[in-house]
Structure 1
């Protein structure tokens, strides 16, 4: 399809069904992409066709399909309203072709969820409908990709920077939602292109390097800690046998016992206690700054 899809191992797990594959084709402007046959009972079919109408600026067909959908009277148990691809495509269609938005707003109010990702996605889609693309509560990558698909306006530089920093610090997959992951990968590419930074494949190479770096510094710390601990244990063991009544020997035994080490039996307690701070020190020495455990979304 596109080079990013062909070369990146990140996209592969997300493309196990036709809907994500078609969505990637839309995002990366696949030239020969055609939607599946329209089936009103299939929410993925509706999403694909709606996205195709938005991409190709086919207003008349989009308006006709939207009018048919407006006749539906969904409730909180209607499964199709939880299809993120479909609701996103409806929001894009409403904004691009100035369609009535009341019905889509009602869908968003019905999409009740305890999941924070889904809650924030709903807030983001609602803000897009309202024309507010820079809200603090948004997933800005969603509004950024919306802007790309509809050609609405140039992205806000401040929000672009915050989105970039937020995603850069998170491990992949960024979210549990495949939809948000695909959106985020495209948003990163747009940020790269906008700022003249690394291309996406270089980004993924950097991500692989980060993983290798963390593993190697952990092994280095284990080596650095093990050698002196083994030497300490051997020295104390020999001293205990040769000088059992020596005050310094007794002090050494007391200190190692305080670390949870049985000099005669093992040294794993002291080694394990030292490995974490030594690993942290080595990484800091090389300039690595770990991301926060629970990074804020957008502030």
Structure 2
């Protein structure tokens, strides 16, 4: 490849890098793996005669999708060996992500967990079609299926996700209000205050990755969750404080224990009460909360 072609390839890749990272992250739920996919995409891209590529953005998305699919299949084995529940890697995001309702919803911890229940191909098709509005023909080229088959997969994946995603779109203000009520009760050690903000069917998932202590399996029910949280604080005899932040485009809490970062807590809210609590403690998943990560759907 000539120097001019290399420069053009570099400029094109950098122009679409944020989009490619967003595609990979939504497919994988891991920023570290998404970065690896981008590196693989770049190595493949520089070998392409870019002047022969009609739609360079679509071509790059196709490469990223294929690399992500390959990695999804290897990640499945890693997750099977993972200690305790697995949660997506939280990202400290830029203000524009929170302002884009569609983007913020697509990278919310609640939806990312729903995507975990799809097969690799279903996840790729759903993300490309429902999130990035990619055409069926282009998706077919990316996943190695016929357009007709892709339509069937998209329908099946959409039905699966709709049955499991929150029933209503909750504003950031509503989420923030629920978080503030949760934090007040937490700071005061107020059991009744926690029970008031937690939905009866709430599920708590904590991810320590075998490095930090966490519940070995999800905890269900407001009473059990509230007692687990308050009992854990009392038993550990620590000072737990929460700092409001924005993670994956949604309000969240950055929790500190005795002044040191302990983890990131995100929530799912329905009918003004918390139905899902997601607490990431694994230090290997907390590397993207020190600086903002840009995301985009375009």
Q: TM-score range by the shorter chain?
A: under 0.3
TM-score, normalising length: structure 2: 0.24
Using CA pairs under 8 Å that are at least 6 residues apart, name the structure with larger relative contact order, 1 or 2.
2
Which protein is bigger by CA-based radius of gyration? 1
Scaled by the length of structure 1, the TM-score of the pair is 0.24
Name the structure with the higher strand share: 2
Q: Of Structure 1 and Structure 2, which has the larger fraction of its residues in helix?
A: 1
